[in-house]
Amino acid sequence: MSFEPSPIFAKTYDLLAWLVPQTMQFPKSQRFVLAKRVQDAALDLHELLIRAGKSRGGERRRALLEADIRLEQLRLHWRLCVTLELITPNRYEHGARLIDEIGRLLGGWLSSPPTT
């Protein structure tokens, strides 16, 4: 998967652009707890994807595996947001769809043959 044309970068950016304003609406008590965790996981995910896109071989694979972990953390935090009623079920579903789409793209990249 090459760096520039891959849709995963655009999808992750779109997720961030939508997700950050959502978390800024959390009650003040959660803005520096769960909102920060959600934002950090999403930002870390995007940074790891950029690193993977600029790397080759084992370094790329390590960045992709770490990105996969961050994606799972983001899924957990996002699910917790709806459980704690910090977001509506509709917002949860929209975010979950975006996260799942990124997960499918990441899974495809992880299963592609390694480059040297």
Residue-wise pLDDT for 58-76, tens only, equals 999 999 999 999 999 999 9
1 falls within a domain = no
Residue-wise pLDDT for 77-114, tens only, equals 999 999 999 999 999 999 999 999 999 999 999 998 77
- Region 1-8 average pLDDT: 65
Closest C-alpha among 96, 112, 101, 115 to residue 19: 96
Structurally, the chain folds into a number of domains equal to 1
116 falls within a domain = no
- Report the interhelical angle of 34-54 vs 57-83 (nearest 10°): 160
Q: At 12, which CATH number?
A: 1.20.1440.60
35 falls within a domain = yes
Token pair in block for residue 56: 């080759």
**pTM, 2 dp:** 0.90
* Domain limits for position 69: 7-111
| Predicted pLDDT of residue 40 | 98
